[in-house]
Amino acid sequence: MISSKQRSFLRGLANPLEPIFQIGKGGLGENMTQALNDALTARELIKVRVLEDPRTIAADLAEATSAEVIQVIGQNIILYRRNPEEPKITLP
């Protein structure tokens, strides 16, 4: 579980990031879930843009990728999952 201080720190890191995925009306598929898993492993912190119901999709993404939802703002979702082998982000 991430504390509010850590969540705030991660929001600051994610602010300049551009969304690397866009989820449309087709929703989540196996390929999209695998691509998100790979991106989370490589980057730890990603931003995703969705076209429909961002809160529901954020919960589904977090469950499918074992990630934490850091923020849902507008149509953007910020996800974080620590890389257990080579962590890139050190949380306060």
**40: domain range?**
4-80
Q: Is residue 71 part of a domain?
A: yes
What are the backbone angles phi and psi of residue 5, rounded to the nearest 5°? -65, -45
Q: Is residue 29 part of a domain?
A: yes
Q: Is residue 49 part of a domain?
A: yes
CATH classification at residue 15: 3.30.110.60
Q: What's the CA gap between 41 and 25, in Å, rounded? A: 25
Residue-level pLDDT at 26? 81
Total structural domains in the chain?
1
pTM to 2 decimal places: 0.93
For residue 75, what are its two tokens?
């149509």
Q: Is residue 90 part of a domain?
A: no
Beta-carbon contacts of 41 under 8 Å, excluding residues fewer than 6 positions away, are 81, 83
Q: Is residue 88 part of a domain?
A: no
Would you write out the chain's pLDDT as a tens digit for each of its 92 residues? 899 999 999 999 999 999 999 998 888 888 999 999 999 999 999 999 999 899 999 999 999 999 999 999 999 999 999 998 999 999 99
Q: Is residue 27 part of a domain?
A: yes
